[in-house]
Amino acid sequence: MPFNTKLADRVRTYLAAFPDLQVEEKIMFRGLVFMVNGKMCVNVSGDGLMCRFDPGLQDELSAKSGFQKMIMKGKLIKGYCYVDPEGCKTKKDFEFWVNCCLEFNATAKASKRKNN
């Protein structure tokens, strides 16, 4: 499923308000990834978001509207979630999720680059 370009524009516009951030966009994970300062931050996946956040907030965030756990190969991936369209529809909810991603991005480790 292609990613929602209007949602991608919302993310792009929001991140542009932070001039100190280095933002790069990449097509991956069946969506559009916003890399911030060389690290995966937030993705637009279908009509929702895929968020990377502090794994210590997993239980707290799971109670938020729109939260969907990320399960890969039957295993819960802590520190990542999907947020369905209803969970990021309002400006307040959208900014909450993107800010969670940005806060974690400041301390997150960058993935090691693969040599091709």
* pLDDT (mean) for 44-61: 96
- Nearest CA to 99 among 6, 7, 32, 36? 36
The domain spans of the chain are 5-105
**Euclidean distance between the first and the last CA atom of the chain, given in angstroms as a whole number:** 28
Q: Which CATH class is domain 5-105?
A: alpha beta
Return the pLDDT at 115. Answer: 61
Q: For residue 27, list its beta bridge partners.
A: 32
How confident is the model over 58-98, as pLDDT tens digits? 999 999 999 999 999 999 999 999 999 999 999 999 999 99
pTM: 0.91
Which pLDDT tens digit goes with each residue over 5-31? 999 999 999 999 999 999 999 998 789
User: The tokens of 53 are what?
Assistant: 């956040």
